[in-house]
Amino acid sequence: MVRPLRSLIRIIFLALAAFLAIPGCANGSPNHEVLVQRVIDGDTVQLSDGRLVRYIGIDTPEMRRKVGDVWKLEPEPFAQEATEANRRLVEGRKVRLEYDAQTQDRFGRLLAYVYVNGTLVNEYLLEEGYAHPITIPPNVRFAPRFQAMSRKARAEHKGLWKLGEEN
């Protein structure tokens, strides 16, 4: 009885070690790329399999707002520019998703850091002033880096920071 139990424990341990050795698996990231079907707005995309991905650590002006059960197109200032920047980066392209501590929000969207051709899209949108940082624990891995990138964009009056300091 003891010998089969030891064998089972050894198999489980080896399987776990092999899983953790695969790049990206320890932090929940897939080791493959996914196709972005369409851009919803500056910080949300839809994958080719229908899943929605909300970018971790950033917030962009909203394109739509929900009135009752209906979504109305009512772009906030700079929402179209943020959406177009995101579209130029990822729409119709394969991206790599990297997760943090929490992988889904209360709406069922995936929460991810999104990479295209080695560029961290979340950070790029901050750097160019299309977004501002939003830190929602427990997903805080890049929070200091994102804050610094936003301060730099603001100091350089990039993107939405062209509108003035009242933002």
Which of 81, 98, 109, 123 is catalytic? The answer is 109
Q: Domain map of the chain by residue range?
A: 1-25, 32-163
- Long-range CB contacts for residues 133-137, cutoff 8 Å, separation at least 24: 133/57, 133/58, 133/59, 134/57, 134/58, 134/59, 135/57
Structure pTM?
Answer: 0.78
pLDDT in tens, the chain (167 residues): 556 656 555 555 444 444 433 334 444 445 579 999 999 999 999 999 999 999 999 999 998 888 888 888 888 888 999 999 999 999 999 999 999 999 999 999 999 999 999 999 999 999 999 999 999 999 999 999 999 999 999 999 998 888 655 44
For residue 54, indicate whether it is catalytic.
yes
The fold for domain 32-163 equals OB fold (Dihydrolipoamide Acetyltransferase, E2P) (2.40.50)
